[in-house]
Structure 1
Amino acid sequence: MARLAKTAYTEHPWIIRRLAPDFDVEDVWAFRTPGAGPDDFPAMLAAMRAFGAVTQQRGPVRFLFAVRWKLGALLGWDDPAAGTGGRVASLRDRLPEDLRATRPDLADDDTPMEPVYETDTESAGELANRTVHTVMHLGWAPGADGDHELRMTVLVKPNGWFGRLYMAAIAPFRHLVVYPALTRRWELAWLRRDDVPTGQGGGDR
């Protein structure tokens, strides 16, 4: 895993840039996918869904997520009225017609992110609550070593001063615990991509 400059996102013609110009770029990371070619993004996504889901994390990451969801339940942060379609409109409302049919069918997926769209080189999911409206964007781009690599960009729109304080408070946990754990899972998922069960991980394109 390598942390990238924000220009790795802002200088690339990602679709999400046109959809979410009012979101701030919080983090940009690259993940090692040795031997990856330009057409391997669907295989990477399928491997991540099979072997790298957030809820498959163990130890400190699982504990942090459990604490976060417990706090959210107690304090009402995750009330449905605070989510997409409630406090904020979904980014799907901004999709052009040609992207409206690209939302992947993840009915059995256990990620808290709601899918927005998916193409052969990009995938975006969103989550909204009383603290923030956030987007996790995954993109496929050439890396410095000639192989293609997975890039993750976290975009945020904090909900007022409380949302900004919340993002500042969780930054050390993201950088020191969550992202390194995701890296281990996702980079291992790439190495296990040939083990993905047939038919798993596909989206509606």
Structure 2
Amino acid sequence: GLGWTYTDPSEVFAEMKLNMSSLNNITWDRLETEGAVTYPSTSPTDPGQAIVFADGFPRQDGRARFTPASIIAPDDAPDADYPMILTTGRQLEHWHTGSMTRRSAVLDELEPEANCSLHPSTLRKLGVIPGDHIRLSTKRGTIEIMAREDRAVSPDMVFLPFAYVEAAANILTNPAVDPYGKIPEFKFSAVKVEAVNGPVAAE
């Protein structure tokens, strides 16, 4: 009654191919039978080339164009009061705001509690074991959250997923934007990390 019409996914795919040359030789049939076809695929039987732009870049002379970029210091640099770096991102089980993944019983059972990740040496300095709660403070706010151990995180850094409304990353992150792309500085904030039940701060 609303005037909606069903669109076959293959029709959408066909329309996308008209505007996206990267889909050349990649079809629903191939994906269903082969499992994956990577870009660029040079023929209907090519599973995909190992190197993108191996024969040149899509520019008149076929050469890439490099543009130098000046490094701009972060707006919120670590100091004596906030000596560590906070970065944010996704985790495997929960994405973005968690509005869908946290409503999944299976995914929420895997990661039911807000958590952040720190290097084992940082946890030792704090006197914290994985599963304990720590306090993260920036110039904008404070949250308390469970600590996880992760050797992939640098010792001077804490990784905070942004899927947990009860420990919202945007309480802490810096909304300052870069002057060119106007992208907020959500990936880098000066932060103080403390054990909830102790006076020691990681440095």
TM-score if structure 1 supplies the norm length?
A: 0.24
Q: TM-score, normalised by structure 2?
A: 0.24
Higher helix share: 1
More relative contact order, 1 or 2 (CA 8 Å, 6+ apart):
1
Please identify the structure whose Cα radius of gyration is greater: 2
